[in-house]
Amino acid sequence: MVERVLAGDERSLARLISRIEAGDAVGSDALRTLRPRAGSARVVGVTGAPGSGKSTLVDALIAVARERGERVAVLAVDPSSPYSGGAILGDRIRMARWHADTGVYVRSMAARGHLGGLAAATLQVVTLLDAVGFDLVLVETVGVGQSEVEVAAAVDTTLVVLTPGQGDGVQAVKAGLMEIADVFVVNKADQSGAERVVRDVRAALALAAPEGEHAWMPPVLTSVASHGTGVREVDAEITRFERHLVERGGLALKRRGRAREEVRALLVEAARRALTSVSDAMLDDVIAGGRDPDAVALELLGRAARMHRVD
C-alpha cells in the first residue's frame, strides 16, 4: 500500500486514510513508514463560522496554488451525518471542478462529535499528505464558531474567515479566534457592513497588539472568494507569514506543537475507546469496593494501548 501511495495511486491513498481514521494496525504501520518523509509541506488552516465562505475561499486558494504548479491536498472536516456517522460531503460540492486534476486531492473527514472543529485523525492525515509529496495542505474546519481554536495546533498558518451580517465583528472573534488568527479574511466584502467588520477587528487587534519589535500583527484582508477578488492578496499574506515564521524560528515551534497535539489526540482517543469497553461487572466491582476506579482505568488504558500498538 505504501508503494502504491508513493506512486501516486489516489485510490490507495484514500484507502490508507480510511485505515488511519479507523485506527487499525495497517494504517499505523504505513504512517510509521512514511513519517520520515514529512516536513516539507505548507499547512494552512481555514476556520470561521458556518456560512462565512470557507469552502469557496479554499477553492480559490487551490486555483492560485495550481497556477504555481503546486500539488494541493484539502482536508475538509465535515459535520457528521446523524444517520450514517459519516461526512456529509458538502464541501466537495464547491470543489468539484478539481475532480479531474491529478494535482489536487480533496478528502472529507467526519467530525463524529469531536470537539474543536477537527476530526481526531486529522493530524495524522496531515502528516501522511505531507509525506506523500503534497506541497500545500489546506485544512478546513467544520465551522462551529468559537470552539474551533484547535485548528491552530494542527497547522502552520491559521486563516480566520469572517463575513458581514453575523453580528458585531469583535464578538465574532472573541474567546479564542482572535488569539489563533495569523490572517483575518473578511469574505463576502461586497455586502454591506464589511467595512465595519474590518474596522472592528483592526480596533480589537490594536488593543491587544503583540509585544516586541518583530512580533506579527495579523493583517485584516477583504475578499469576494466567489469572484476570486482579493484571493491573491490572501495568498501573499500566507506566504509573508510563513517567511516570518522561518526567519524568527517559529516554524520549528509550530511543528513541535503539532507533534505534541498529535500525541495528545491519540491519548484522548485511546481513553475514549477504553471508556466504551467498561463492563457492568467492572462497575459493580467498583461499587462493591472490590476494585479502585483508578485500577480499572489503568487496566482499560493498558488494553487500549495493546490494541493500538501504543508503547
Residue 293 neighbours by CB distance under 10 Å: 10
Confidence at residue 309, expressed as pLDDT on a 0 to 100 scale: 53
Q: Which three cell numbers stand for residue 208?
A: 491587544
| pTM across the whole model | 0.85
Give helix 122-131 / helix 10-22 axis angle, nearest 10°: 150
Regarding the domain delimited by 38-250, which CATH topology (the fold level of the hierarchy) does it fall under? Rossmann fold (3.40.50)
Q: Which three cell numbers stand for residue 231?
A: 484571493
What is the distance between the alpha carbons of residues 170 and 78, in angstroms, rounded to a whole number? Answer: 26
Instruction: Measure CA 258 to chain center.
Output: 11
Digit-by-digit pLDDT tens for the chain (311 residues) are 999 999 999 999 999 999 998 888 899 899 999 999 999 999 999 988 888 899 999 999 999 999 999 999 999 886 544 333 444 454 555 667 888 898 999 998 865 544 444 666 888 999 999 999 999 999 998 765 444 667 788 899 999 999 997 655 555 555 567 778 999 999 999 999 999 999 988 988 888 777 776 789 999 999 999 999 999 999 999 999 999 999 988 888 888 888 888 888 778 777 877 888 888 998 999 999 889 999 888 888 887 777 655 44
Dmax (CA) for the chain in angstroms is 68
Confidence at residue 169, expressed as pLDDT on a 0 to 100 scale: 54
Looking only at the bridges linking them, the beta strands covering 42-48 and 183-186 are unpaired
What is the distance between the alpha carbons of residues 195 and 174, in angstroms, rounded to a whole number? Answer: 18
Confidence at residue 310, expressed as pLDDT on a 0 to 100 scale: 44
Give CA separation, 284 vs 26, 148, 242, 274, 279, in Å.
36, 38, 55, 17, 9
Q: How many helices (H) and strands (E) does the chain have?
A: 13, 7
- Total residues belonging to the chain: 311
Domain residue ranges of the chain, discontinuous segments joined by +: 1-37, 38-250, 263-307
